[in-house]
Amino acid sequence: MRQIPIQREEPTSIDPDPEAEKRILDGLNERQREAVKATDGPVMIIAGPGSGKTRTLTHRIAYLLATGKAKPHEIIALTFTNKAAREMQERVQKLVGDQTKGMWVGTFHSSFARVLRIDGEKIGYSRDFSIYDTDDSKRIIKQQMNRLNVSTDDVSPRGIQNLISDAKNRMVSPEKYASVARGRAQDAAAKIYPAYEKALRKANAMDFDDLLLRPLELFDEHPDVLEKYQTRWKYVHIDEYQDTNHAQYMLARNLADAHDNLCVVGDDAQSIYAFRGADITNILSFEKDFPDATTVRLEQNYRSTGRILALADSIIKENDDQLDKELWTENDDGEYIALMESLSEKDEAKKIERRIRDLHVREGLSHGDFAVLYRTNAQSRPIEEALRKENVPYQVIGGTPFYQRKEIKDALAYLRLIVNPNDTANIQRVINYPTRGIGRKTQERLQNFANKHGFTLWQAIERVEDIDTLSTRAKNAVESFRFLIAKYASKAESMPADELAQEIIREAGLLSELRKDHTRENLMRWENVQDLVSGIADFVASSDDPSLSVFLQEIALMTSQDEEDDADQVTLMTLHASKGLEYPVVFVAGLEEGLFPLEMAAKEKQDLEEERRLFYVGATRAEEYLFLSWARSRYRYGDRETKTRSRFLDEINSDVVRTAGGGELDQKKNRFKSSSDGGSDSSNYDGVDPHYYRRNLRDGSGSGASNGKERKLKRIEQSSGGGRRVVYDEGQGEIVPGVRVEHSKFGEGKVQDVEGRGEKATAVVYFGSDIGNKKLKLKYARLRIIG
């Protein structure tokens, strides 16, 4: 676990350093230098992938320091992730020496959480406010739905949460929202929204949106506070500007208003967070917003080979809404982009694993050079399994991050309560975990009492003796909980945060709960909780402000992308998480209709364009090798689904793509001229060479992997002959759509579809026009795989 370094506040200044200045400018090309030197007035750097965007921004900050144009405390840089902030901080330090104390570098969220810590009390938030993630917010929303009798028939809590978040992103107040809400879902959201806001405020809690909105409120209501920050920050920098939302835009405007020195960097073609409220018009209309802005375009790509860039260009050309940019590179053409086609997600995973091992052995690439990208987190599983099986080291970025695991959230809940007992959502989380006799009914009575008197849940707990509806037994149970929290709350000032954590976690019974039964999961959870404590110890040892409340706020803003990834491992992550990163070898997996582009996103043009930009982002992560992969079938909701190739594969520039067999990519747009067979049932297997699969296995240049695979196939054939072993066993020779099989009675056929698993698995097999489709129970049918 890592925390964001906190810099001291005292203004320090550094003398102009001509040597550093030279070093800073020497590391740049002409255009980049131009951007760095434009230190007066608004600047927009529009830059393609791999053009040294962040590098330019970093050098600009270093340049400001080295020339003495700005003192460290006069600079703020807002990044997209904490990790990017950390790296930028480190690089600036490297360029100008260690003199960056007082400079603010961080995400919008963490930077303005800090502002709120300093000045939030002016709008009614104590500095120990809790930060609520989506989970905590959902709890509040559910509770409010319950209280206000909003039925879940019309909308799910999640749906309401999204609607409210959207409204907040657009800075629509509850009152305003009530007047514009249309339809059942929005009406429901309009009812919940004000109650939700009130509940958050009462709990001294903020959700992610609040971390941007409350500072705006603060600036609005206290112009002196705004002025303080405006005068302080003479230079405002924003990275990944295309992904800022409206509130972030307003914050930027507010800060830049005094000095007009706003420098933004972005690429409209890489805008992939609209679903989260990112507003692409921020970057598209920058020049309108800041009429005297300097615009610099960085169009030379240093990252990728010519072919990768040509492919990327062909992807993005399909989109209509673009700022003009001509990407070019001096790099070699490089290898062809390889198209990989597989029969199933397991097959896909195996092929990816084999390619990785092959390149690792033959080209000497290290494991850290590889990244496997996919659209949804769920896709990591089969790939993980394939890599694990062959002992290829890997790491998965994302999924369920450390701090979101249940045991961690439970432990954190106790810690949050020490700091902020009014944090109702977290009381509810742990008031009866581990079970201490405070069940549903007691909690209900507590809540009723609180509602009746306008208390928070905690205030009700403090007055538990006065609640007539409770039995003595219940009162005692509640009292012991109250005592537990109060005891440590009073020690919070005097006791180091890590000791505090250790003790309350133990006394609350979390650790013994996890040791109750000795499953492997529980052991892991127990270790995770221990890791949390040592993480707090690290924080205490290294932070300028080692209070528990700061730790909790920072931890809430950490993301999977902030995890350490320095080890030499293959990296698995979503396409979203890959933004800003680069790897010599990149696989984009799961290029299938319905998956990428995602089914829901394929309907609206806007959404489809975002998916396409996502594909563009993924492809441009690659430096040397790019693999595009899709599978003919995939498990979803426990059923095997037949898939067709993604439309994206029909759009790309086929000149730079080669299939696994070395052939050209057969695209829909080319099909008309070459073949006229098309005909019936065209959705099935056009262009599939039935021998492709096995030939490829043999082509594996005699490496252990392909031999292993062949062995497995043989074993299947033998066993089916013997009739004892089941042939549908996953991961052996799979019976999946597209496979050719032989049946003792019907002869040769091709599997069309497979349903069910295990004993119940059935396959639809087409045995030619005479026999047609047959539905067979795999358990009895004894199908033999022949290709």
Partner DNA sequence: GTTGGCGTATTTTTT
Partner DNA sequence: ATACGCCAAC
- Does position 261 interact with DNA (CB under 7 A)? The reply is no
**String of contacts with DNA for each residue 609-648, x by CB under 7 A:** ---------------------------xxx----------
Q: Closer to DNA at the Cβ: 358 or 565?
A: 565
Binder to DNA among 70, 250, 577, 657 (CB under 7 A)?
Answer: 577
47 annotated ligand-binding residue:
yes
Site string for DNA, 674-693 (x = CB under 7 A): --------------------
Please state the closest distance from residue 600 (CB atom) to DNA, in A.
5
Place of tokens 């009406």: 187
Judged by CB under 7 A, the stretch of 91-99, 225-233, 573-581, 583-591 that binds DNA is 573-581
Candidates 434-442, 486-494, 653-661, 770-778 — which segment interacts with DNA by CB under 7 A? 434-442
295 carries an active-site annotation: no
Which pairs count as long-range contacts for 776-779, CB under 8 Å and 24+ apart, including other chains? 776/743, 778/726, 778/727, 778/728, 778/735, 778/754, 779/726, 779/728
What are the tokens at 160? 């309401």
Catalytic residue among 17, 209, 240, 348: 240
Q: How far is the CB of 10 from DNA (least distance, A)?
A: 27
> Which residues lie across from 573 on neighbouring strands?
373
Nearest-angstrom CA–CA distance, 698 and 149: 64
Q: For residues 730 and 750, what is the distance between their CA atoms, to the nearest angstrom?
A: 18
At position 118, the amino acid (one-letter code) is I
Q: Which of 567, 689, 633 is nearest to 382 (CA)?
A: 633
Q: Closest CB to DNA among 661 and 756?
A: 756
Q: How is 38-107 classified by DSSP, letter by letter?
A: --SS-EEEEE-TTS-HHHHHHHHHHHHHHTTSS-GGGEEEEESSHHHHHHHHHHHHHHH-S--TT-EEEE
> Could you say whether residue 426 binds DNA (CB under 7 A)?
no
Q: Are 205 and 428 in contact (CB under 8 A)?
A: no
Q: Is 604 a catalytic residue?
A: no
Scan residues 67-126 and list those touching DNA (CB under 7 A). Answer: 80-81, 107-109
Please return the burial class of 330, using the count of CB atoms within 10 Å of its CB with bins 0-12, 13-18 and 19+: exposed
- Interface with DNA includes 757 (CB under 7 A)? yes
Q: What is the rounded CA–CA span in Å between residue 735 and residue 741?
A: 8
Annotated catalytic residue, options 3, 21, 31, 53: 53
- Per CB under 7 A, does 270 bind DNA? no
Two structure tokens written together for 301: 């790509």
Q: How far, in Å, are 195, 381, 433, 457 from residue 191 at the CA level?
A: 7, 40, 31, 22
Q: Which residue has the tokens 């000497």?
A: 364
- Interior/surface letters 165-194, b for 16+ CB within 10 angstroms, e for the rest: bbbbbebbebeebbeebeeebbebbbbbbb
Candidates 204, 560, 646, 696; binder of DNA (CB under 7 A) is 560
Asked if residue 432 binds DNA (CB under 7 A), the reply is yes
Catalytic residue among 270, 424, 561, 752: 270
The answer to whether residue 440 is catalytic is no
Cβ distance to DNA smaller for residue 368 or 594: 594
Question: How many other C-beta atoms can be found within 10 angstroms of the C-beta atom of residue 202?
Answer: 17
Cβ(1)–Cβ(535) under 8 Å? yes
Please spell the DSSP secondary structure of 442-470, one letter per residue: HHHHHHHHHHHHT--HHHHHHTGGG-TTS
280: its two tokens: 């692409």
328 binds DNA (CB under 7 A): no
Nearer to DNA, 204 or 442 (CB): 442
Rounded Cα gap, residues 446 and 432, in angstroms: 13
Handedness of CA 176, 178, 184, 186 (dihedral sign): positive
DSSP state of 302: -
Secondary structure E strands in 333-479: 337-342, 370-374, 394-396
50 among the known binding-site residues? yes
Name residue, tokens 């803003």: 557
Tokens 């829901």, located at residue: 600
Dist CA 232 CA 200 (whole Å): 31
Complex with DNA: residue 501 or 601, whichever CB lies closer: 601
Catalytic entry in 139, 307, 621, 645? 621
Measured in degrees and rounded to the nearest 5, phi and psi for residue 474 equal: -65, -40
Q: Cβ 162 to DNA, closest distance in Å? A: 8
Assess 282 for contact with DNA (CB under 7 A). Answer: no
Residue (238 or 540) nearer to DNA, CB: 238
134 labeled binding residue: no
Rounded least distance, CB 276 to DNA, Å:
4
Catalytic site includes residue 428: no
Closest to DNA by CB, 151 vs 676, is 151
Q: Find residue 640's DSSP bridge partners.
A: 635
Q: Which of 31, 60, 355, 576 binds DNA (CB under 7 A)?
A: 576
What is the nearest approach in angstroms of DNA to the Cβ of residue 38?
A: 27
Is residue 448 involved in binding DNA (CB under 7 A)? no
Using rule CB under 7 A, residue 559 touches DNA: yes
Q: Which of residues 587-606 bind DNA (CB under 7 A)?
A: 598, 600-601
Residue 310 marked ligand-binding: no
Helix (H, G, I), strand (E, B) or coil at 321: coil
- Contact between 557 and DNA (CB under 7 A)? yes
Asked if 447 touches DNA (CB under 7 A), the answer is: no
Residue 438 near DNA by CB under 7 A:
yes
Q: Does 440 bind DNA (CB under 7 A)?
A: yes
The contact pattern for DNA, residues 149-188, with x = CB under 7 A and - = no contact, is -------x-x------------------------------
* Count of residues of this chain found to bind DNA when the rule CB under 7 A is applied: 41
Which residue of the set 7, 54, 186, 242 is catalytic?
Answer: 54
Q: Say whether residue 361 binds DNA (CB under 7 A).
A: no
329 is a catalytic site residue = no
| Nearest of 56, 635, 67 to residue 344 by alpha carbon | 635
Which position among 124, 437, 678, 721 is part of the footprint of DNA (CB under 7 A)? 437
**Contact present, 622 and 308 (Cβ < 8 Å):** yes
By CB under 7 A, is residue 694 in contact with DNA? Answer: no
> Site map for DNA, 186-225, x if CB under 7 A?
----------------------x-----------------
- Within positions 379 to 398, which residues make up the interface with DNA, using CB under 7 A? 398
Closest CA to 642 of 729, 747, 766, 784: 766
Is 722 annotated in a binding site? The answer is no
The nearer residue to DNA, 637 or 780, going by C-beta atoms, is 637
Residues comprising the chain, all counted: 787
For the CB of residue 48, give the shortest distance to DNA in the complex, in Å: 22
Q: Per CB under 7 A, does 772 bind DNA?
A: no
Q: What is the DSSP pairing of strand 337-342 with strand 370-374?
A: unpaired
Q: Is 51 annotated as a binding residue?
A: yes
Closest CB to DNA among 184 and 691?
A: 184
Query: Strand 773-777 and strand 337-342: pairing?
Result: unpaired
CA distance 200 to 211: 12
**672 lines the binding site for DNA (CB under 7 A):** no
Euclidean distance between the first and the last CA atom of the chain, given in angstroms as a whole number: 49
Tell me how far, at minimum, the Cβ of 108 lies from DNA, in Å: 6
Q: What is the maximum span of the chain, computed from C-alpha positions, in angstroms?
A: 89
Closer to DNA by CB, 285 or 606: give it.
606
Binding residues: 47-54
Q: Kindly list the residues in this chain that would bind DNA in the complex (CB under 7 A).
A: 80-81, 107-109, 133-134, 156, 158, 208, 273, 275-276, 376-378, 398, 432, 435-442, 474, 557, 559-561, 574, 576-577, 598, 600-601, 636-638, 757
Residues annotated catalytic, as ranges: 53-54, 239-240, 270, 621
Binding residues for ATP: 47-54
